[in-house]
Structure formats: structure tokens, C-alpha cells
Amino acid sequence: MDSALGRTVISLWSWLCIGVLVIVWTPMVAIVRLVTAPFDRGAYAAGYLFRKLAVAHQRLTPLWTFRVEGSVPDDPRRPYVVVANHESFVDILLISHLPMEMKWLSKQTFFKIPLVGWMMRLAGDIPLRRGERESALEALRQCRIRLDRHVSVMIFPEGTRSKEGELGAFKDGAFSIAIEAGVPILPLAVHGTKTALRKHDWRLGRSRAAVRVLDPVPTDGLGPAHVGELRERVRSMIASELATLRAD
């Protein structure tokens, strides 16, 4: 069903599915958070359930095929600062297929979306108002709190989606917090989501996307002076893996 009409029909079906899933998922996440709150300060269980909404949605979307590659860490409660390149909004749905929970650093506007924003708050995701220094500092403080509670955090170090799929410059924030908290960086290479949902087009496209988990990068013995070196090392790892993925 690759015709324009076929794509429109499938897209309508997919948006209907995600609407229904969001309605069903919201009370489930709320109940899990309420029940686990006394002993799960990091909201791990509620967050993990929230991410599985993306897995259910992908299975109901005929145009999308997602896969996870590489070695996922054995201990899901070993905290990492997870970083990935950013091709599309659909990156969020793809990365949510990883069998580990992580708290997402996300734009403040997402938290204002009915139901979805409520689940993000229940899951313990971290809001950020772009361009505001105080908001950025508070977001980094909240990241540190999540890491101290043995939950990973997820940051797109490019800051925004790339326009043509090229890998942009990385910002320092993710690498600063990893060094400060003494936790490893877990790099991800994302490929294939750009065609899943293009900017300024509500209709879905055909996509065979992959998220590849790379080897963790330790931060032991590193200090503030090493932020740039760590940032460029991780960026080079992701760039090299993207070249491999695109050649496959």
C-alpha cells in the first residue's frame, strides 16, 4: 500500500491506534506509579510501562519495522547517560524498544500534551525550556537525581533533529553530567527513522529502522577538563556506526 491513498489510510489507522493506546495506557501508568511509589523512588516501573506504549504502537503500524541491535547492558539498574543521534521524532518511539528504562530530557511543550504529558510526569521524565539557562541548570540537576536513584537518563546531544540526516555538533551537557555523576556514557546509533515521519507531513512513510547499542564509554578518572574530549570520542563512535548502518 505505497500509493498516496494507501499511505493516507494506513496513517489514519496508525494515529487512531496511538490515540486509543494513550487513553488505555494513561490509567495503567498512573496505577503502577501509585502502587510502586513507596519503594520505587526512581519511578522505574511506571517509566518502563510507559515506553512499552511505543512497542505496542509499532506492532500496529504496517509501514514500520523496528529492530534493536548490539549488546544491551545486563543490569538495567546500572545508570548510564544514554546519548543518540537524532533523525526524527520517531527516534523516541524506536529507542523505547530497548529493554531498559531511562528518563528522557524533553522539551517543556511535550509535558503540556494531555495524557501524554501526564504520563511523562508520572514516568519521571525531565522538562527543559530551550534557551533558558535556569531551566537547563535545573534539568541537569534533575538528571543527576535520576542517576543517583539508579535510573539512566536519555539525552540527544545534538539538541534538535537534523534537517537532512547529517550528524550535527554535540553539546556538552550530557557529557558534563556523566563526568560529574561518575557514570558511563551509553552511545546509540539510530538509522532509518527519517522516512517514518517527515517534518510537515502528518502521514507516515515506510521505514526499516534500527537502534544499535554501542560499547559503554567509562568516565572514571575524568574531570571537567575532559568534557570536550569525551564528547568528540562519543560523537566519532556514533558517526562511524552510522556509516556502517547506512552501508548495509
* Count of C-beta atoms within a 10 Å radius of residue 38: 7
Place of cell 544491551: 72
- The mean of the pLDDT values for the chain is 94
Rounded to whole angstroms, the Cα distance separating 175 from 153 reads 12
DSSP state letter for 160: S
The pLDDT, as a whole number, for residue 162 is: 67
User: Residue 10: is its pLDDT beyond 70?
Assistant: yes
Question: What band does 132 get if pLDDT is binned at 50, 70 and 90?
Answer: confident
Average pLDDT, stretch 163-173?
85
First-to-final CA distance of the chain = 25
What is residue 5's predicted lDDT score, i.e. its pLDDT? 86
Query: What CATH class has 4-247?
Result: alpha beta
Does position 200 have pLDDT exceeding 90, yes or no?
no
182-209 mean pLDDT:
93
pLDDT recorded at residue 2: 60
Is the pLDDT confidence value at 1 over 60?
no
Say if residue 79's pLDDT is above 60.
Answer: yes
The pLDDT score that the predictor gives to residue 169 is: 94
145/43 Cα distance (integer angstroms) = 12
Predicted confidence band of residue 163 (pLDDT cuts 50, 70, 90): low
Is residue 152 within 8 Å of residue 102, measured between CB atoms? yes
Neighbouring residues of 5: CB distance < 8 A, sequence distance ≥ 6: none
> Residue 204 is placed in which grid cell?
507516515
